[in-house]
Amino acid sequence: MPPETLQLQVRTNILKFLKSFLGIIRILQIVFGAGLWVTISANKYEGSIHFVLFVAVFFWLFTLALFFLTLLDKQDLVPLLGGERWLSTNLAHDVAATVLYLPAIGVMIYKTDRNSYCNLEQYKHYCLYKVYLTATVFACLCCLVYLLSVIYGACRKCRGEQTVI
């Protein structure tokens, strides 16, 4: 196969994935996940926020890996999880992310509520309320896009489809 034809086929596959529902969802997961962990890590955090940061960074990295493996059509190279199992692998990842983002949201809501006293104009000290509120919104958005991905993947799995795109 000539290099030009191969290059055109690769470009077509990349554009096809980026325009697909799963491609758009994966991009949103990466953006919202990065927004969450950057918001938290750029500010002072302690205690249970470490769990939220773990969930955000872990699933951000894992989603990034799944995104690029699917984008480059290299899922067959992943032992035990690739090939015909790739849709199930993506579904398991999305279910785990959704389940772990739920307690992360709970932690962020609790921390936001605990710091709501400093949201007054008269309060002059450093306050993490707006940081925690922003992180809570990002965590909710992350959970929502992972849930959409679970529903989409489960529907495709029930229909008997094997490919991700």
pLDDT at 144: 98
- CB–CB of 115/128 below 8 Å? yes
- Give residue-wise pLDDT tens across range 47-86: 899 999 999 999 999 999 999 888 888 877 777 677 778 8
pTM of the predicted model, to two decimals?
0.89
Residue type, 131: V
pLDDT at 164: 64
Return d(Cα 97, Cα 61) in angstroms, integer: 12
The candidate with the shortest Cα–Cα distance to 142, out of 20, 21, 18, 36, is 36
- CB–CB of 138/36 below 8 Å? yes
Tokens of 44: 């002072």
How many Cα atoms occupy the beta-carbon half-sphere of 1 within 13 Å? Answer: 8
Domain ranges for the chain: 3-159
Instruction: Indicate the SS3 state at residue 162.
Output: coil
